[in-house]
Amino acid sequence: MTAPAATADAALAKGLLAGLGGALPPRLGVAVSGGGDSMALLSLLHGLSAAAGTDLETVTVDHGLRPEAAGEAAFVARRASALGLSHETLRWRGWDGQGNLQNAAREARYRLMADWAERRGLPCVALGHTADDQAETVLMRLARRSGVDGLSAMVPRSNRHGITWLRPLLFARREALRGHLRRAAVEWVDDPSNDDPRFARIQTRQSLAALAPLGIDVEALAEVARNMATAREALKSQTDRTAGDILRMEAGAQVMQAEGFFAAPEEIRRRLMIHALGQVNGGTYPPRRGPVAALIAGLAEGQAATLGGCQALLRRGEIWVFREYNAVRDLRVPADQLWDRRWRATPPEGLPQGAELRALGAEGLAQCPDWRRLGRPRAMLLSTPAIWQGARLLAAPLAGLDEKWHVQRESGAECNETAPLSH
């Protein structure tokens, strides 16, 4: 290998290591599609893992959308085996033909890989997103009139479905990674959909060539993402400080002092509301800017509103954000299982036969004579978890009925504040 080539590969390895925070974790999953970016990620990580003592495992998701996908997964499996690494192919056949195919496939891919990582005991999974991907993402979100969060684009580290996702190649250009593969004599496969102009990302990729003479190129857009990420952290810090002053959690609801909320700058109000909604509904992505602004404007006029399976209302100088009853009205599980992805019940003794968790509702609330003394909104109590045995209400601890039963909020309820789409 010539000196310039060796220097280029060393720079890629050094940059990747920096993208991982300076060191490889003891165990690491690697998502590998067979394309140039992920194959380069695998090659570089394998080169670093021996010295670091890191146990690498590889995974490929076959969405079943192209006949070539199975062969590409087999290609990755052979490469992993040649490197002495385990590999697993995950298959998705869940698209019903409705909605946005790319979005559905992406969400399925993350869910499948998260389940795989949990099963394999892998706390982290590395992804092969590059500076080119980052630039394309910024441009796409600019077209959606994104704010600071959206223009921050992809972050080097995020948490989703209980797994830490690492993007250590956000510094690297796509062509530089292919140069590494050529020097290392590592093959890769090209997905023909990466040249299909029907997809918005491909249209964006092609438009970058026309924008480059104006100085709007990959490097410039990637720097915009870094600048926006810095601004986002400052906004998050201010939001956290404000939340510490005005926000509390009560019985699963997010409760904010109205005076302090409305005195905060507009962007901080928006972030506080998105946080509150996410904590209540466990949503992966926050709602869009327009509906959130409309909800806040309505609250300022004393109007209750619903958004994202939540209800918000102004009451006695406080803003309450809680689960909307209609979102959980028909949800029921055995009393020893997780309800609404958030709640678990603990009986005072043994679990009664046939007991189940479901929403309290108006019928149940009518059987709770002391609910008013708690000072909680009636609409909020309707959606709280209660323990039923058929038509018989056994307990509703959050409404003051038989508090020997306990219902506690699961701490793992998700609200991904690191990956908003176009907000």
Residue 72 · residue 61 · CB < 8 Å: no
**In whole angstroms, what is the distance from residue 31 CA to residue 209 CA?**
29
Residues in the chain: 423
For 351, list phi and psi in degrees, rounded to 5.
-75, 120
Return residue ranges of the chain for CATH 3.40.50.620: 3-223
Contacts of 225 (CB under 8 A, 6+ apart): 134, 135, 137, 138, 151, 152, 153, 154
Separation between Cα atoms, residue 142 and residue 140, nearest integer Å = 5
> Which residues, at least 6 apart from 361, have a Cβ–Cβ distance to it below 8 Å?
325, 329, 382, 386
Flag residues of the chain having pLDDT under 50. Answer: 412-423
User: For residue range 300-355, what is the model confidence (pLDDT) as tens digits?
Assistant: 999 999 999 999 999 999 999 999 999 999 999 999 999 998 899 999 888 899 99
pLDDT of 412: 46
Q: According to the model, what pLDDT value does residue 284 have? A: 66
Delimiting residues of CATH 1.20.59.20 domain(s) in the chain: 244-323
Rg over alpha carbons for the chain, rounded to the nearest Å, is 25
CA-based nearest residue to 281, from 244, 306, 256: 306
User: What is each CA distance from 6 to 10, 42, 399, in whole angstroms?
Assistant: 6, 18, 68
Quote the CA–CA distance of 292 and 277 in Å, as a whole number.
Answer: 10
Q: What is the pLDDT of residue 417?
A: 38
List Cβ neighbours of 218 (8 Å cut-off, separation of 6 or more): 131, 132, 134, 135, 173, 208
Pairing between β-strand 406-409 and β-strand 163-166 as defined by DSSP bridges: unpaired
Confidence (pLDDT) at 98: 61
Whole-number Å distance between alpha carbons of 7 and 9: 5
Strand partners for 28: 56
Q: Between β-strands 385-389 and 392-395, what pairing exists: parallel, antiparallel or unpaired?
A: antiparallel
pTM reported for the whole predicted model? 0.80
Tokens of 118: 């949990």
Q: Which residue has the tokens 């796409």?
A: 140
pLDDT in the model for residue 411: 59
Tokens coding 375: 């000072």
Please give the pLDDT value at position 173: 96
Q: Residue 283: what pLDDT? A: 74
In the CATH scheme, what architecture does the domain 3-223 have? 3-Layer(aba) Sandwich (3.40)
What's the rounded Cα separation, in Å, for the pair 153 and 226? 9
Q: Is 50 exposed, middle or buried (0-12, 13-18, 19+ CB in 10 A)?
A: exposed
Distances (CA, A) of 103 to 72, 91, 98, 193, 201: 21, 16, 11, 15, 12
- Give the pairing type, strands 163-166 and 124-126: parallel
Q: Which CATH number fits domain 244-323: 3.40.640.10, 1.20.59.20, 3.40.50.980, 3.40.50.11540?
A: 1.20.59.20
